[in-house]
Amino acid sequence: MPADHPPYVIDQMISAKSIAARIESLAREIGTEFAGTDKLVVVGLLRGSFVFIADLVRELDLPVEVDFLEASSYGDGMDSSREVRILKDLRGQIEGRDVLVVEDIVDTGHTLAHVTKFLVSRNPARLRTIALLDKPARREVDFKADWIGFEIPDEFVVGYGIDYGQRNRNLPYIGKVRFTQ
Ligand SMILES: O=P(O)(O)OC[C@H]1O[C@H](OP(=O)(O)OP(=O)(O)O)[C@H](O)[C@@H]1O
Ligand code: HPA
């Protein structure tokens, strides 16, 4: 059941076309980093990364396996609980594998910092992180993804997999929420 929210509109911030172009270029960089590997596991963080990972893996010219981990810290609001809960673990083993963790947004940094620690404890051969969006102004823990699609200002964003109150994940672009009252 969606929570009640004050009325808002969504202003486009990053177009679908710009996202697609950026993903093409990120995929080339990732291809260079992981060239020659036959043991890459691309791990999507649910739920927010489901659109990004789908587009990213289709641009990768590498043999990849795809797995998912579900982590949550926001609930239905705009504030991080700062307590990251792992709701669904990976299906496969990552010990000795190359791992690319795919995230939609790094905001306070709690989610990716926690997930990275959680996965590193399983001794992957190499672990790298990519986030489509980075909001450095909100950072509470020291975390930087290895690849970033776009650095954005301190705005609450939705679309391209990212929600507000579980809605708007299906927008093809990134927009910012603007309250009208
Ligand atoms: O850097 P942080 O402040 O930790 O915020 C980033 C995280 O917050 C959102 O997840 P959320 O908990 O809303 O779950 P969801 O992916 O299922 O929407 C988003 O998808 C990131 O995973
Ligand atoms: O800007 C955001 N929008 C939606 N979910 C989020 N989780 C962290 N930051 C955001």
**ipTM entry:** 0.98
Q: What is the pLDDT of residues 133-157, one digit of tens each?
A: 999 999 999 999 999 999 999 999 9
Tokens linked to 162: 């990212």
Q: How far apart are CA 97 and CA 94, in angstroms?
A: 5
Stretch 59-65: mean pLDDT, rounded?
97
Q: What ranges do the domains of the chain cover?
A: 8-29+37-73+83-179
Burial-class residue 162 by CB neighbours within 10 Å (0-12, 13-18, 19+): buried
**Among all chains, which residue has been given the structure tokens 């986030």?**
131
Known catalytic membership, residue 76: no
Three-state secondary structure call for residue 94: coil
Tokens linked to 28: 């080339």
Residue of 52, 81, 105 to test ligand 1 pocket, by largest number of atoms within 8 Å of CB: 105
Q: Are strands 98-106 and 40-46 parallel, antiparallel or unpaired?
A: parallel
Q: Which residues pair with 9 in a beta bridge?
A: 178
How far apart are the CA of 109 and the centre of ligand 1, in A? 9
Question: Of the ligands numbered here, which is closest to the C-alpha atom of 81?
Answer: 1
How far apart are the CA of 108 and the centre of ligand 2, in A? 9
Residue of 8, 107, 111, 134 to test ligand 2 pocket, by largest number of atoms within 8 Å of CB: 107
How far apart are the CA of 84 and the centre of ligand 1, in A? 9
Confidence label for 1 from pLDDT (cuts 50, 70 and 90): very low
Stretch 5-31: mean pLDDT, rounded?
97
Contact by Cβ (8 Å): 160, 172 = yes
User: Could you give the maximum distance between any two Cα atoms of the chain, in Å?
Assistant: 54
77 or 37: which carries more pLDDT confidence? Answer: 37
**Phi/psi of residue 19, nearest 5 degrees:** -65, -45
Nearest CA to ligand 2 atom 9: 107
DSSP state of 136: G
Whether 175 lines ligand 1, by a CB cut-off of 6 Å, is no
The pTM of this model reads 0.97
How far apart are the CA of 36 and the centre of ligand 1, in A? 32
CATH number for 8-29+37-73+83-179 (one of 3.40.50.2020, 3.40.630.30, 3.30.200.20, 1.10.287.110): it is 3.40.50.2020
Residue of 103, 162, 164, 179 to test ligand 2 pocket, by largest number of atoms within 8 Å of CB: 162
Tokens linked to 11: 């202003």
Non-local CB neighbours of 50 within 8 Å, separated by 6+ positions:
44, 161, 169
Q: What is the pLDDT of residues 161-174, one digit of tens each?
A: 999 999 999 999 99
In the chain, what percentage of residues exceed pLDDT 90?
A: 90
Instruction: Supply the pLDDT for residue 2.
Output: 53
Tokens linked to 79: 């504030």
